[in-house]
Amino acid sequence: MFFGLYALLIACTRPADLPGGDSESGSDDDSTLDSEETTLPTCADWAAALGDSSLPSPQAPYDQHRANFLSGGGGLAEFSGTYLAAWFPDTYADQPQRTVVVDLHGTGELPESDWGLWREHRASRGIGFLGPEYFTGDPPEFLDSAALFPLVEEAIDVVDSECDLGTPNLVLLGYSRGSAMTLPVIYQDRQAGARFTRAILNSGAYHPAFDEDYDELIRSLDEEGDEDAFLGTEMFLYCGELDDSHGFPMCDEMEAARIWLNGLGADVGPVWHDTDGLHGDLPRDEDAAAAALNFATAPL
């Protein structure tokens, strides 16, 4: 009787205690290995460790923009024949709702050029920054929206594969040319599943009343009049009332864009008019910048 109970005890405990069984400890080892294999660095650490890769140094004054970006904890990652600028504050990972602003720069600038103006605004809110370079090729030229959208998607995927990005609230922000390009990019994003939650347009928008040579996708949307093209997409529009860089008042362009976008299903509130603002002055106006980033980080 004693021997039978002893044998039963051995049989019941063997898988966990003896070699050759499907033990719980073996399962724990597997899970530990899986955990170790999927552990990624914080995005702040990853970006800071990137440095400037092997990219050639830009000409002045953009060389200083890059130097400031790198010394401030940003890094540059090469991909698909171009590169992206990435920067995350140390507090990014601690945010209950993580937010990343994907920035489309203006004509004649670098992805890291806008970062300095926005740095303190974003750092105080724990907002991450990604900026893909879309002036590329040999000779270099700006990508059209059909090529830019997959580049933006890939840039996000690159970062997600390299650091603990989480599941952030993704906001698309553009300045000047980049501001106008947010529209076809956001439209394509909606067709692909809507990764971006909101868009911020700083001094620029494609609109048929003001642009004879505008993006082909926007042209087709205007001709088709699709009332659901931007359905439910929230947008924040800014203009400086002293900005006539396009040959006419920028605020007229942005107001026309607001009406046009709302007619295509977007959710665009009043355009922010900066009475003393010049072209792209959104981050220089403390109140406007705060309103834009409060918009960006509002609960989903």
Find the CATH number of the domain harbouring 239. Answer: 3.40.50.1820
Peptide bond into 249 cis (omega under 30): no
Of 10-24, 73-87, 246-260, the poorest mean pLDDT is in 10-24
**pLDDT tens-place string over residues 206-248:** 766 666 566 778 878 878 878 899 999 999 999 999 999 988 9
- In this structure, the number of other CB atoms found within 10 A of the CB of residue 273 comes to 16
Confidence at 147, pLDDT banded by 50, 70, 90:
very high
What is the mean pLDDT of the segment spanning 156-170? 98
Count Cα neighbours of 263 within 13 Å in the Cβ-side half-sphere. 12
Tell whether 11 is covered by a domain: no
Q: Average pLDDT of 27-46? A: 69
C-beta neighbour count of 184 within 10 angstroms: 23
End-to-end CA, the chain? 67
**Residue 157, domain member (yes or no):** yes
What is the identity of the amino acid at 176?
S
Note the pLDDT tens digit of each residue in 6-20: 343 334 443 444 344
Exposed (0-12), middle (13-18) or buried (19+): which is 139, by Cβ within 10 Å?
A: exposed
Question: CA–CA separation, 9 vs 2, rounded Å?
Answer: 11
Specify the DSSP class assigned to residue 264. T
d(CA 287, CA 80): 38
Domain of residue 132: give its range. Answer: 42-297
225 located within any domain:
yes
Partners of residue 198 on adjacent β-strands = 171, 234
In a domain, 287, yes or no: yes
Residue 113 falls inside a structural domain: yes
The answer to the question of residue 77 being in a domain is: yes
User: Region 71-92: what's the mean pLDDT?
Assistant: 96
pLDDT at 48: 97
Q: Which amino acid appears at position 12 of this protein?
A: C
What is the model's pLDDT at position 110?
Answer: 94
For residues 271 and 288, give the distance between their C-alpha atoms in angstroms, rounded to a whole number.
11
Note the pLDDT tens digit of each residue in 172-192.
999 999 999 999 999 999 999
pLDDT at position 54 is 80
Work out the pLDDT band at 140, boundaries 50, 70, 90: confident
Domains contained in the chain, number: 1
Predicted pLDDT of residue 209: 64
Question: Considering the domain boundaries, does residue 178 fall inside one?
Answer: yes
Rg (CA), the chain: 25
What local confidence, expressed as pLDDT, does residue 220 receive?
A: 81
Give the separation between CA 120 and CA 283, rounded to whole angstroms.
10
Are the beta carbons of 115 and 74 closer than 8 angstroms? yes
CA-based nearest residue to 33, from 41, 25, 21: 25
Q: Within a domain: residue 3? A: no
